[in-house]
Amino acid sequence: MSGVDGKVALITGVAAGCGRVLAEAFAAEGAKVVGCDTNADQGRAAADAVESSGGAMTFVEADVADASAVKNVVDTAVKTYGRLDCAINNAGTETTGLIVDAHDDVFDQLVDVNLKGLLHCLKQEIASMQATGGGAIVNMSSVTSDITAVPANGLYAATKGGVNALTKAAAVEAAKDNINVNSLAFAAIDIPGDMIWRFLDDQGIKPEQLMASFPIGRMGRPEELVAAVRYLCSDDARYVTGTMLVLDGGYTAQ
């Protein structure tokens, strides 16, 4: 199977969690990584860890909710490595609470990061890839979206449902330019510091209760997340676009 060796990969939200795991894995496999995050200290630490291991990673402090900041990240990738081959739009935020208790400012923040932030990324990434002959884009979604509902997570789910809708539209629009656009709807991945742990704490759910809800009987492993994203970024997935790959241990099938 082809991978990401030699590809230039942009990954948003690299300071911790899934983003950092993906950045380190892609760099270890030979990709040249450009990562961004609002947490500059942790983002630079991630880049330093990659570089010290012999990989290539450039970090840019940026908030995806800021369109000009996103343009700077994409411009940096092109200036540093000459092109952009693949992009993983991972940056996101999550809040918990019942719909009846929802506040506009909370929903506004979710929309600004999870939806408008994705729009900013797609605009710049597609334009860059159009100029160099194509590429692959992976938008990180969730099984908590338009697939299934989880109590106290409705606002987040609404934005992730929007991610899936934007993915399909972007895929259709960019197909003629040899650009693949897909989303990865994943369930709980066992990565320290990831958002799933905050959700469990907020809702008083024990990890073993969560694991019992998956037919496979466990959370996803980091390497399984990496494998799914690697595939969607690889040349093996050239005929795959406008789709949603579900990575959930059978959760949504039951």
Q: What's the token pair of residue 65?
A: 């909710």
Q: SS3 helix, strand, coil % of the chain, rounded to 5?
A: 50, 20, 30
Cβ atoms 74, 58 nearer than 8 A: no
Question: Which one is catalytic: 81, 156, 231, 251?
Answer: 156
Query: Cα 27–28–31 angle (5° rounding)?
Result: 35
156 is catalytic: yes
Residue among 140, 122, 111 at smallest CA distance from 21: 140
Helix residue ranges, H only, the chain? 17-28, 40-52, 67-81, 104-110, 117-132, 154-174, 195-203, 207-212, 222-233
Residues tagged active-site: 156
